[in-house]
Amino acid sequence: MSLPRPRALVTGPTAGIGRSFAHQLAEQGHDLVLVARDRARLESEAKELRSAYGVDVEVLAADLTDRDDLATVEARLADPDRPVDLLVNNAGFGLKRRFLDNSVDEEQAMLDVLVTAVMRLSHAALGPMSERGRGGVINVSSVAAFLPRGSYSAAKAYVNSFSEWAAREYAPRGVTVTCLCPGFTRTEFHERMEVGRGSAPDFMWLDADDLVATALKDHAKGKVFSVPGAQYKVVTAAARLVPSGILQRFQSLGRK
């Protein structure tokens, strides 16, 4: 008898980094559970994945800022009859304006997706994975986590810290947790924030497919952090050495 295919749940899989995760995991033989708000886009993506790779694809329309919708995704992760072998916490968005220029509800929604959803979905997944003695979680963070750049950076710093702790905590139980920290990437993310390609030099922009391939290789090797691109390895290394007060003053000058 052939073994069942591994199953991965990916949040935010209809564009950018999340879509690349879905396609590369399907190509590697994973069945998928796709989670996003837009059911029509999910169904279209699922149809393409089934046709291209011959894998099983479930669609779960959910708004991760809605606690009831989030609970539905948690329940799917915890279902013992349909185990999820890999959770990819990819869903996210950013706010272009500075903290006090956003409404508190906008800030809360971002926090709900970037922090609360990551925590709750990880909690739902790590229990069954630990009991089975195998599994993995990839949390998509950002190079911004290493820099003092407002509430988005603060949220991603939580993801980094949480992922690093979880990696050490659950490795003895057979679960691999990796924190992916991309920099500027050619996706809809920056387009939705109305951030043009001219906001950073060409050499700073990453390709989503390349960085996901790197992340999956790093995860397979058991790495805690995956920082694709030599340029961003330099940035994160420097950020660890330079005092945050100096970094913040430098960035403030750049905004004037």
pLDDT of residue 256: 26
Q: 3-state DSSP: the chain helix, strand, coil percent, rounded to 5?
A: 55, 15, 30
Boundaries of every domain in the chain = 7-254
pLDDT confidence of residue 11 = 98
pLDDT score recorded for residue 184: 79
pLDDT tier, 235 (very low <50, low <70, confident <90, very high otherwise): confident
Query: Among residues 159, 153, 129, 117, which one has the least CA distance to residue 141?
Result: 159
Mean pLDDT of 166-179: 98
pLDDT of residue 230: 85
Task: Kindly state the greatest CA–CA separation across the chain.
Answer: 65
pTM over 0.95, yes/no = no
For residues 210 and 186, give the distance between their C-alpha atoms in angstroms, rounded to a whole number.
11
Whether 2 shows a pLDDT value over 70: the answer reads: no
The pLDDT, as a whole number, for residue 148 is: 78
pLDDT over 60 at 91, yes or no: yes
Asked if pLDDT for residue 62 goes beyond 80, the answer is yes
Q: Does the pLDDT of residue 101 top 70, yes or no? A: yes
Q: What is the pLDDT of residue 1?
A: 54
pLDDT of residue 199 exceeding 70, the answer is no
CATH 3.40.50.720 fits 7-254, yes or no: yes
Reported confidence tier of residue 188, pLDDT bands at 50, 70, 90: low
Q: What band does 194 get if pLDDT is binned at 50, 70 and 90? A: low
With both helix axes pointing from N to C terminus, report the angle between 117-132 and 150-170 in degrees, rounded to the nearest 10. 10
Neighbour-count burial of 181, counting CB atoms closer than 10 A to its CB (0-12 exposed, 13-18 middle, 19+ buried): buried
Q: Which residues are catalytic?
A: 152
For the chain, the average pLDDT equals 89
* CA distance to 89, 175, 187, per residue, from 132 (Å): 20, 9, 35
Predicted confidence band at 183 (pLDDT cuts at 50, 70, 90)?
confident
